[in-house]
Copies of this chain bind each other. A is one copy, B any other.
């Protein structure tokens, strides 16, 4: 019986740590997804502001410098229009802006619940361990009061074991149900919570060749706008700089801004691609449906073994009591009082013997 329980406690600790691993994988995937989403928003904001700043300062300076030649001013106007168009297209890429659902909040909630679940299981496991050890001690020392207390404790832990087994069974059934086909459920839930369009969600949740990138159009348009600004700036550099040396400084500064913007644009393309977010989704699902579910099944096995072992203990303890030698059967009122003169002597002997 003690062996069964020892194995049960080992299985319980393993299951508890597996469940905890799975849940922490889920929350770290959520945090990573949040980082990607917020980086997209920040990058879009930063790029749009940089383009706006360039339009307000350098392009205005350029127009003033070149105001004598109408066709050059027209070219700067063209560049200004393209920059504004690029900023507008980019603005539309920050799809997570204004969405009320925060993955960080979900991750924090999950971690909060998991911490208490983990602690509760560790306490339950330690309680089972202590009950086992003190029952053994009570049997070895043939101490009636310890056996009585441990019988009561066993009953309590038996109830706790059955209760936890019920909870685990319910959670395992719910989780298996969810894990058999999670995509549709998560997709519908996310659409309800975020209000994002179905093609964006499909793109990120499925991420295969069949689903086209919903940002493709905007990305291509902003890319063409940036390339056209570049060609207009090159034309201006060729024609305006020989006549207006003052135009060189704002032109170089605009080229520099354009290069930085193109770098940000490439980073934005990489962030918007479904690979990264889809990998986070897969990793969150794996944490939940592999590690956490496996841990939960081990915890169920622990509850079953510990309930079995405790039930056996409860049945056998009264019989063991009946076998205790009657010599131990002195006045019970002093039995648990170490300060009784006779008792304290026995207590010291007991203490020195352990």
Instruction: Using CB atoms and an 8 Å cutoff, list the residues of chain A in contact with chain B.
Output: 6, 10, 14, 212-213, 216, 219-220, 223-224, 226-228, 230-231, 259, 262-263, 266-267, 269-273, 275-276, 279
- Residues of chain B within 8 A of A275, CB atoms compared: 270-271, 276
Q: CB-nearest residue of chain B relative to A230?
A: B224
> From DSSP, what is the main secondary structure of chain A's interface residues?
helix
- Residues of chain B within 8 A of A270, CB atoms compared: 269-270, 272-273, 275
Q: What is the distance, in angstroms, from A297's C-beta to the closest C-beta of chain B?
A: 15
How far is B279's CA from A269's CA once the two chains are assembled, in angstroms? 17
Evaluate contact between B220 and A223: CB separation under 8 angstroms: no
Evaluate contact between B267 and A273: CB separation under 8 angstroms: yes
Evaluate contact between A263 and B213: CB separation under 8 angstroms: yes
How far is B226's CA from A219's CA once the two chains are assembled, in angstroms? 13
How far is B280's CA from A261's CA once the two chains are assembled, in angstroms? 28
How far is B220's CA from A259's CA once the two chains are assembled, in angstroms? 8
- Residues of chain B within 8 A of A231, CB atoms compared: 224, 228
Name the one of B224, B228, B263, B269 contacting A266, with C-beta atoms under 8 angstroms.
B269
Name the one of B10, B213, B279 contacting A10, with C-beta atoms under 8 angstroms.
B10
Sample of 22 A–B contacts (CB below 8 Å): A212-B263, A213-B266, A216-B262, A216-B263, A216-B266, A220-B262, A223-B223, A223-B226, A223-B262, A224-B230, A227-B227, A227-B228, A266-B269, A266-B273, A267-B273, A269-B269, A269-B270, A269-B273, A270-B270, A271-B273, A275-B276, A276-B276
How far is B176's CA from A240's CA once the two chains are assembled, in angstroms? 63
Q: What is the distance, in angstroms, from A185's C-beta to the closest C-beta of chain B?
A: 26
How far is B231's CA from A14's CA once the two chains are assembled, in angstroms? 63
Assuming the contacts A6-B6, A269-B266, asked whether A227 and B223 have C-beta atoms less than 8 A apart, the reply is yes
